[in-house]
Structure 1
């Protein structure tokens, strides 16, 4: 098939989609449909899809669909799931901070981050949903087509399709002849790609197909600190498929696909921050010292990410971890007996640091490590009995993932004191020259450094089983049906670690020092007093039980089953009604495992009298499983009309009403502490299911003998309890908001001649969060109320709080604010936060009298402050949903020039994509604003059709733009920095393809 024709076939916006029937059946039906169309005199190809889990012409399916063949993906230069937005209206894509991503359709995506959450866009492989998949990391290869269904698909696709479906249909074995293809590519950043497939008929009824691809390239980003390129790729995929058709009534197929990656891919881009120096004035009181201002600073301001000031570093002088180390003594100078503290409150860790404004240039002390491994096994059966077909699809998927990278994304100044030669209070030299000889601390996981180093690890191991049975009719009468049932079982363990040498330093300096010695907490029977276990193993061999690092361990099992059916009634030759329904029942079982950072226990197991509030000093307590059950009835009602007109070759109008559902889930548990030591406002233990009621009208049209197609759609979606999360108390807190989305979409393709073709998509979108919805914005906890002040908490508490201005002024006006006693006032300020019930107690009996009591007032943040001191609610009424640009637009054009009498063809293609501005969070503040951005791609392809040979020179991102496509806000104790995500840079490549 020639370049022009194949691209027209793939990109024609007759595109609607589906998923379900066997590939062999789809191919047979396509040949029959094409022959029928030609007999009617309509030019151009016919696109066959299975969006309604039955084989149909795309134009006959009353759903908004875009279908892209393997050739179309090449033409658009769409290499993976993140680039589908350039071909589909009202689609957006962004990476999230951990092992997930957000693929959104019509403003709705996966903004909930939890091991127990589900995607809002169902990602399917050959019509089978995959809860965890490598859509972001892997690259498309040897595909039959990619189908993107827009709008809720709650009847046939079920629980995780409240905004749509992405269905990846692989090419299946053919029985005609031995055939294959090999392609090799070289390009910018030392890119090397090799791929292809081989199709071998073993008999008239048995065929096998093998396909594979590999990509290697250097990093897109440069680390100026390690002087290395990072964010590179070293990945490969293989697929083996077998098809068997022993008779006309029985077909079977088997697919095994494997993906593997091992490189230095970065999960996130640069980390931006407009530094918050802290206030110089609180009411009538001057804030006199930098360390006190830092205590009243949140680290980063809620300012635009596009200002020059955003390329600063957070103010971590007031960090609770930094403060905890700074107020503890390392030792004394032997000659003067001058005390030496663990860190200096006069030395901010990021003083004077600014970043390069090049978003592809980072400066971190640790280069990323990325590994992923994914296998999919699928067995399909199809048995036809006259006009009724029985389909069975069985799928097992296994996925493992590991990613580590610099957590703070900045290189600090040297922070540790030189402990060599210091003595204790009795004048005895510290053993082994103390913890930081030469100003260098050796962390068991991160190694030696004189600077603040932090690394996070995101990893998961999961398995999924899925079984679906369907009974589908294809009768000549007016009624047909599609009935089915499916079962899903999904098990996962997701772990998220944050390792910091300051954490380990605090554990050894504050908790594990007995006199002159650092004790070993791994032997509980020999440990007197409170102790925090420090994992002694290197980062790639950790035992996972350390309290010197943060670990969020999430163990979840999901069981789901559903029964569904659709009835198709041809009321007349031109009028058809579709009525569908589905019942889904979900059970999510979560094992609550609270975090244990820097928590220990008296006598290694006794909670009485601990200063940290912990119950154990090593490992994690597991609590009884939480079982969350939900069920829902969903369905759709569609009327479509196919009038015969004098000005179109084929026309359909349709109107639909549908219902979608996505299960709720559990929020991760917070820290496991004794409420007599640390007590704060509870957070919701779970979040609600998400529902949508959707209305859609549309039309699909073919003109001029197939040379012009035009599709138009308008929609209204009413969402109840849309799921969105943010980091609160070091966990992903998922919240629910009602919202409305509405808009319109246009898709058009025009081929005025055999040589020239133009295609375009346009998406218009409006979103609105419901009246009365509210949430606490961690970037603006006071909401402008001047009677309240933001305060950083005590070291045991993970989140900032707000405190009454008069109480803050009372502490600031005390004589304890000035050096050398300034740390006492800082401790008192921290004790104004809930969670600090005993922290800083000055009562000799340790009955919990808080430190602020010595300043002459009483105060209980849990009852006297809004929301337990967490802050005031922000009113979200009328705000826009995140990642929902008002306009998305793409136009592409190509011209083919015959050469040497038509033996050769030269095709020039260009594509332009643009999306308007949007917001990254529900609060719609200045920091949330994402500017509009565009993208230009071009390709020059030389082909010799009779030899099945092509040579392509392409340029992706022609103008080398680096727009911020989204960002993720980090936790309070990192200073509320923003991890940003950008487009890939300009890539110039040359590819040769040979078929046989």
Structure 2
């Protein structure tokens, strides 16, 4: 992307002179050195070294001179009127940031975690996150690869051959792709070099059984005109390392990805870039649990059912044991193919830019159903497939913009997005008497799928996003800019579901002589079993659970923002901005009731918010010290909030019953307020230190939301709701000031590096990275659950050549082996439904275990990199 002329016009001579140096040296390898004590030791040494070597300005340029494309043009961080965290290619390498979760250590306020193992991780930024939903729900943080919107999961599992990552905070949507309420993250891959052969090889191995190799090579086909770059990664590791008491297999991840990039520049004005990426991942996960184990039946059970003793499913387990009781592994397979094209045509005073994308995705989830070990006999292979999700995405964007007008820069664009997805369910969901052998037998000794009912369902979802947008930058004075932008969105979404239960058998426990006397039910009268000698089987008819009834929603919305920027000096910039965001409505397809009081939740309203922000970006001490400050306030109207584990009245059966929605999305007003502080000090080439602090307090505004209120007092509790407890209502409501995300209100990180010559050819270095997460009263878990505060220290040691050709290092993650509980299940893992429990097993309603999650394990590793 060519540099806009307005950038050069507003930049003082020193910045212009250093432009080339900035682009080469902009990656400051910084990490915190085991706290302030190490900083106190290093600073005098670094200052002494600085005095002896007298580095020039190019060696001590400000962090604020990092070049970013947050506003789709090249400019320094100093000139961008928003909080942007830039993670350069060099920082990714220096701190071994291998995947998305590693980014959270260097981007305070960003969290990336799954509520349960194997599920899609959720991004949160600035105190707000996408919740769980029965239907499609747009994230609060959008992700882009080379300016095209992409799947979070694909990008964050493997960061390789990346040029730069930029985390943009605050509402986005007038400059790129999809609207988002709390931020966007852009990933830019390295482009082919038109003039010379370049590339690298990188290897890593660790004590967590990780073997990781990545590399790339760029070759000019026609010098200055056409070049090709090939990159790839292979990663094998033991996932989270959880072990099961009842399964010998270990968790694992096998990740493979490669991409091919072509750059064609037949003339200087025309730049064409095409990228194809193939990604595949297979993860085997064992659900970590903690608890007492099964405590025995709490109510009378069917006389012919098996009565299981306490702890039949496992002993008491602590969260810090890192154990599972699963007898089958949850397996998730992911396949992504991306084709992204970028074309830029420079017309002199204007430019035409096109970005197009085609993406094809498939996710397959299977196995892992017996997480609480309530089925005492393992299900035989092959593992039952539970969910097969497939989607296709096409986006097209065309922009026409100026390239550096004297007073008025402007741009207009068109955006189109179409997605079709389909989730196919083929899962065994009911296990009846006979599944585990003869109900009259003294022990459970056989597994038979003929006594199970299978759910076959299809959940198609499609959406179309058409938008037109325009933006203007008025250069009011050489030091003052006013930016305004707006986008008009025409959005259509369609959701549907169809599903049936297949027929099956239920063992009666009665002898063959009594088959004729068993009343006819379901598919027909009882008959002599062919699977359990001497007893009767009762056929169970298949039935339709839900028929096609498409939910189609059409919405129109405006997204807009404005900012005023003033450069007091070349080293001090202030800005104030306003942003209006929007997220489309979602639906709750997981509700089973025809009651109008429940069907009203079928579709939510859309969400809007207004964000106000002011910031100050400063450089001192001849640009050795950078200080960036920002404060913000965001007011959400109809925030798409997900209430977890909500009981409701189900009237689809012969009698009213209580059903539970795993998650129920509703609209609720909320507010976020906070600030960002970024500090960076680089007195010399030998030493650098930086720190970031983010505070974002996001809460519902005492909103009325669906809840589990078993006693009707208006306060959420963990009791068991009954039909009588609902009174005249079909769902209970509670006042709530819950957090808008499962993250702490604030967190911080610090980085530092010290390096020194070891020989005439090599340097030695030590880097540290420390992140701190305080107590979190809103961590994933039951009501009243909170996590303790903790700090994690990563340490890096190594040698590298002066010219940067090679680097050999060793590292330690979580050096002090901190182990803290960070999440747990809202409730204990349930046994099958009451009918299944009493008929098939004779167990109570709880296994006595909860799912849990801990901080990452301690890890030691080594790396080797070679560049050419």
Are the counterparts in 2 of residues 641 and 654 from structure 1 also a CA contact under 8 Å? yes
The whole-number CA distance in structure 1 between the counterparts of 2:417 and 2:714 is 49
**Secondary structure of the equivalent of 1:247?**
coil
The whole-number CA distance in structure 2 between the counterparts of 1:84 and 1:368 is 26
* Residue number in structure 1 paired with 2:304: 341
Q: Which has the higher strand share?
A: 2
| 1:958 and 2:833 matched | no
The whole-number CA distance in structure 2 between the counterparts of 1:389 and 1:10 is 35
Are the counterparts in 2 of residues 881 and 922 from structure 1 also a CA contact under 8 Å? no
- 1:232 to 1:478, Cα distance in 2 relative to 1, 3 A: same
One of 214, 232, 236 as aligned partner of 1:212 = 232
* Residue number in structure 2 paired with 1:743: 674
| 1:907 and 2:765 matched | yes
Alignment of 1:922-961 (within 5 A): 925-927=783-785, 929-946=786-803, 948-961=805-818
Are the counterparts in 2 of residues 642 and 651 from structure 1 also a CA contact under 8 Å? yes
* Residue number in structure 2 paired with 1:765: 696
One of 638, 649, 669 as aligned partner of 1:721 = 638
Alignment of 1:532-551 (within 5 A): 548-549=453-454
| 1:658 and 2:677 matched | no
The whole-number CA distance in structure 2 between the counterparts of 1:669 and 1:584 is 28
Are the counterparts in 2 of residues 459 and 495 from structure 1 also a CA contact under 8 Å? yes
The whole-number CA distance in structure 2 between the counterparts of 1:179 and 1:585 is 44
| Residue 46 (structure 1) shift | 3.6
One of 480, 484, 488 as aligned partner of 1:579 = 484
The whole-number CA distance in structure 1 between the counterparts of 2:756 and 2:58 is 30
1:843-895 Cα shifts (integer Å, max 9, x gaps): xxxxxxxxxxxxxxxxxx49x72533x5x43321x443332312211011110
Are the counterparts in 1 of residues 488 and 557 from structure 2 also a CA contact under 8 Å? yes
The whole-number CA distance in structure 2 between the counterparts of 1:535 and 1:489 is 40
The whole-number CA distance in structure 1 between the counterparts of 2:790 and 2:498 is 42
Are the counterparts in 2 of residues 4 and 754 from structure 1 also a CA contact under 8 Å? no
1:915-959 Cα shifts (integer Å, max 9, x gaps): 1122447998313x2322221101012001337011010111112
* Residue number in structure 1 paired with 2:248: 228
1:903-925 Cα shifts (integer Å, max 9, x gaps): 21011001110111224479983
| Residue 233 (structure 1) shift | 2.0
| Residue 484 (structure 1) shift | 1.0
The whole-number CA distance in structure 1 between the counterparts of 2:826 and 2:490 is 34
**Secondary structure of the equivalent of 1:71?**
helix
| 1:195 and 2:52 matched | no
- 1:567 to 1:45, Cα distance in 2 relative to 1, 3 A: closer
1:172-221 Cα shifts (integer Å, max 9, x gaps): 11112111111222221332111111010111200000111111123542
**Secondary structure of the equivalent of 1:210?**
strand
**Secondary structure of the equivalent of 1:873?**
strand
* Residue number in structure 1 paired with 2:617: 700
* Residue number in structure 2 paired with 1:469: 398
**Secondary structure of the equivalent of 1:666?**
coil
The whole-number CA distance in structure 2 between the counterparts of 1:720 and 1:557 is 25
| 1:629 and 2:554 matched | yes
One of 217, 241, 251 as aligned partner of 2:271 = 251
- 1:443 to 1:992, Cα distance in 2 relative to 1, 3 A: closer
| 1:156 and 2:189 matched | no
Q: What is the TM-score of this pair, normalised by structure 2?
A: 0.80
The whole-number CA distance in structure 1 between the counterparts of 2:436 and 2:179 is 43
- 1:87 to 1:921, Cα distance in 2 relative to 1, 3 A: closer
Higher relative CO (Cα under 8 Å, sequence separation at least 6) belongs to: 2
* Residue number in structure 2 paired with 1:435: none
The whole-number CA distance in structure 1 between the counterparts of 2:256 and 2:666 is 38
The whole-number CA distance in structure 2 between the counterparts of 1:46 and 1:588 is 42
1:426-472 Cα shifts (integer Å, max 9, x gaps): xxxxxxxxxxxxxx7x967779xxxxxxx884442111111111112
- 1:207 to 1:8, Cα distance in 2 relative to 1, 3 A: closer
Alignment of 1:770-849 (within 5 A): 770-777=701-708, 781-782=710-711, 801-802=721-722, 833=723
Q: Which runs of 5+ in 2 are unaligned?
A: 1-19, 33-55, 441-447, 506-519, 525-538, 647-659, 832-844
* Residue number in structure 2 paired with 1:494: 423
Q: Which runs of 5+ in 1 are unaligned?
A: 14-36, 273-310, 328-339, 415-439, 448-454, 514-533, 537-545, 606-613, 792-799, 803-832, 834-860
Are the counterparts in 2 of residues 463 and 492 from structure 1 also a CA contact under 8 Å? yes
The whole-number CA distance in structure 1 between the counterparts of 2:121 and 2:479 is 42
One of 112, 133, 149 as aligned partner of 1:113 = 133
The whole-number CA distance in structure 2 between the counterparts of 1:680 and 1:479 is 54
* Residue number in structure 1 paired with 2:838: none
One of 854, 863, 867 as aligned partner of 1:982 = 854
* Residue number in structure 2 paired with 1:332: none
* Residue number in structure 2 paired with 1:523: none
Are the counterparts in 2 of residues 918 and 931 from structure 1 also a CA contact under 8 Å? yes
Are the counterparts in 1 of residues 435 and 452 from structure 2 also a CA contact under 8 Å? no
The whole-number CA distance in structure 1 between the counterparts of 2:368 and 2:387 is 12
The whole-number CA distance in structure 2 between the counterparts of 1:53 and 1:785 is 49
User: For the pair shown, which has the larger CA radius of gyration, 1 or 2?
Assistant: 1
The whole-number CA distance in structure 2 between the counterparts of 1:574 and 1:379 is 36
Alignment of 1:435-474 (within 5 A): 457-474=386-403
- 1:960 to 1:683, Cα distance in 2 relative to 1, 3 A: farther
Are the counterparts in 2 of residues 232 and 263 from structure 1 also a CA contact under 8 Å? yes
The whole-number CA distance in structure 1 between the counterparts of 2:325 and 2:798 is 39
* Residue number in structure 2 paired with 1:424: none
Root mean square deviation, CA, Å: 3.8
The whole-number CA distance in structure 1 between the counterparts of 2:352 and 2:548 is 44
- 1:99 to 1:919, Cα distance in 2 relative to 1, 3 A: same
The whole-number CA distance in structure 2 between the counterparts of 1:585 and 1:882 is 28
The whole-number CA distance in structure 1 between the counterparts of 2:499 and 2:332 is 26
| Residue 363 (structure 1) shift | 2.5
The whole-number CA distance in structure 2 between the counterparts of 1:942 and 1:201 is 31
Q: What is the TM-score of this pair, normalised by structure 1?
A: 0.70
Are the counterparts in 2 of residues 881 and 921 from structure 1 also a CA contact under 8 Å? no
- 1:508 to 1:579, Cα distance in 2 relative to 1, 3 A: farther
One of 270, 273, 294 as aligned partner of 2:288 = 270
Are the counterparts in 1 of residues 344 and 353 from structure 2 also a CA contact under 8 Å? yes
* Residue number in structure 2 paired with 1:478: 407
**Secondary structure of the equivalent of 2:431?**
helix
Are the counterparts in 2 of residues 94 and 965 from structure 1 also a CA contact under 8 Å? no
Are the counterparts in 2 of residues 480 and 567 from structure 1 also a CA contact under 8 Å? yes
Are the counterparts in 2 of residues 407 and 456 from structure 1 also a CA contact under 8 Å? no
1:470-514 Cα shifts (integer Å, max 9, x gaps): 11212331100121111111111234666467357479999xx9x
| 1:95 and 2:12 matched | no
Are the counterparts in 1 of residues 255 and 281 from structure 2 also a CA contact under 8 Å? yes
The whole-number CA distance in structure 2 between the counterparts of 1:712 and 1:790 is 42
- 1:44 to 1:557, Cα distance in 2 relative to 1, 3 A: closer
Structure 1, 72-81 or 139-148: larger mean CA deviation: 72-81
| Residue 88 (structure 1) shift | 1.4
The whole-number CA distance in structure 1 between the counterparts of 2:425 and 2:130 is 19
Are the counterparts in 2 of residues 595 and 669 from structure 1 also a CA contact under 8 Å? no
The whole-number CA distance in structure 2 between the counterparts of 1:460 and 1:91 is 27
The whole-number CA distance in structure 2 between the counterparts of 1:759 and 1:406 is 43
| Residue 241 (structure 1) shift | 0.2
* Residue number in structure 2 paired with 1:394: 356
